[in-house]
Amino acid sequence: MTLDSMMACCLSEEARESKRINAEIEKQLRRDKRDARRELKLLLLGTGESGKSTFIKQMRIIHGTGYTDEDKKGFTKLVYQNIFTSMQAMIRATETLKIPLKYEQSKNNSLLVREVDVEKVTTFEQPYISAIKQLWTDPGIQEAYDRRREYQLSDSTKYYLTDLDRIAESSYLPTQQDVLRVRIPTTGIIEYPFDLQSIIFRMVDDLLYFVYPHVCTIFPLTSVLPCIKHA
C-alpha cells in the first residue's frame, strides 16, 4: 500500500469530499484557462447609427447560426416602426427645409402618418399603407429624401419604402436582408459569441460607460478628474 493510499484511508468522509470538490474546481479552472486562450473579446465603439449592431447581425448571419423564421418574426414590428419613423422624419424635413408637398392628398396623408405613436406600432394596415405609398411618390418627399444629409434619416429608408407591397402583405415574414437593415434602438449591452476557425469571438455592443485609466501624476491636482474618460 502506497503512502498516498494510506493517507486516503485515514481521511474522513468530509475531508475526502472537500478534496474531490477542490480537484473539480482546479479542473474547471484549467478548462476555463484553455478556452480563454481561443477566445477573442471585441468591444464595438462608435457613435449612434454608426453600424455597430448591424455589424453584429452580419457576423451572426455569415459566421453564426443566422436567424430562424421564429427569430425573423420578432423583427416584423420593428420593420413597420422603421417605415413610420422614416416617413415621419421626411415629413418634418419638408417643413424644416421649406419643401412644399405637390399633391393635395399628401397634406392629409402627412397629418395621418404624423399622428402615429411609432413605439406602439405592431401592424401595418390601411389606411397607413396607402398613405405612406402615396407620400413616397410626392416630389416634395423625394426632395426631402435627396437632402437627407441635412437631417437624420435611416439609411434603410429607400430599401423599405420601395418594397412596401411585399412588406404590406398579411403573410409578411422579414428576410435576412430585412433583419440586417432594420434599425433597433439599443437600450442595453448586446453580446453575441460566434466561432470562426476554432476561435470564439465574443462581441459586445453599447456600453453605458467606458473607463480609460491613465497615469495622472504628471498633471496638476485639478486635472485628475478629466483623466477618466466618460463615453
Residue ranges for the known binding site are 49-54, 155-156, 180-186
Q: How far apart are CA 183 and CA 38, in angstroms?
A: 32
Q: Which residues line the annotated binding site for GTP?
A: 49-54, 155-156, 180-186
**Which residues sit in the known binding site for Mg(2+)?**
53, 186
Report d(CA 154, CA 95) in Å as an integer: 18
Neighbour order of strands in the sheet with 39-44: 39-44, 199-205, 190-196
Before 139, cis peptide (omega within 30)? no
Q: How far apart are CA 113 and CA 111, in angstroms?
A: 6
User: What is the dihedral sign for C-alpha 171, 72, 75, 136?
Assistant: negative
Counting Cα atoms < 13 Å in the Cβ hemisphere of 19 gives 8
